[in-house]
Copies of this chain bind each other. A is one copy, B any other.
Amino acid sequence: MDFPSTLLETAVTELSSLPGIGRKTASRLAFHLLRREKDYAERLASSLLALRRDIHYCPICHNISDTDICTICASPQRDRSLVCVVESIKEMMAIENTGQYRGLYHVLGGRISPIDGIGPNDLKIESLAERVADGGIAEVILALSTTMDGETTNFFIYKRLSDYHVPVSILARGVSVGDEIEYADEVTLGRSILNRTRFDDQFIN
C-alpha cells in the first residue's frame, strides 16, 4: 500500500508494530485519527507518552504506580503478613478482581523460561528473598501459571526461601467452577481428588 503522505505512512508503521495490529488495522486507526477532532489525537498521544515516561514502579512489590509506593503497599487496610507472588501486573489485577485477597503482592516480572532465555536473575526473586528476610511475613503464596515454566519458578522460589522457614503455599489446583467433570483433563481431575476439601469448608468466606 502506498500512502499519499509520509506522515500517514509513519503513523501506520508505528501503529502496526503494536502486537495484534497489522498494516490494515493500523491504517484504519490512522484514518480514524484523521477524521476525529485534533484534541483527540493529542489526548491519545499524550496519554501514551505519559504512561511510559511518568509511571513508577513500586520499590517494594514492583507493581506499577503513579506514586513512589503503590496504593496496595501503602494501604493500611491490607494484611502486610501475606505476600502473593505473581508473574505480572495482569495476574495481580485478576486476583484483585476476585475480591478474595487482602494481602500484599510481589510482581516477579515473568517466570523462569530457559527457552526464552529468562533465568532467575532476570526476575525479582532476590528482592522477594530480601522482603522475607526483613521479617514480618507469615506466608508467601505462589500464584504463578500452572505451566512447566510456572512450576519451575515455583520450585526455584520455594528452594530460595527455604532458609527463612516461612510457609510457602500455592494456589489450589482443581476443576474450574462451572466445568463439566466429563471434560476435565485427567491431571487436573486427579489433583482435585487428592486435594479434595470438606464440603462445609467452601462456605468459609
Contacts and interface: CB of A to CB of B under 8 A. Distances in A.
Interface in A31-52: 31-34, 36, 38, 40-52
Contact of A41 (B19, B48, B93): B48
Contact of A7 (B3, B7, B54): B54
Contact of A96 (B2, B54, B88): B2
A188 B21 CA distance: 34
B1 A31 contact: no
Contacts of A36: 52
B14 A93 contact: no
A25 interface: yes
Interface stretch (A66-74, A116-124, A137-145, A153-161): A66-74
Nearest to A43: B14
Residue picked from A10, A18, A45, A46, most chain B C-beta under 10 Å = A45
A138 to B, nearest CB: 24
Interface residues of A, number: 59
B51 A41 contact: yes
Nearest to A54: B7
A4 B97 contact: no
A42 B33 contact: no
A42 B19 CA distance: 17
A62 to B, nearest CB: 11
Contacts of A165: none
B50 A4 contact: no
Contact of A4 (B10, B47, B70): B70
A94 B178 CA distance: 49
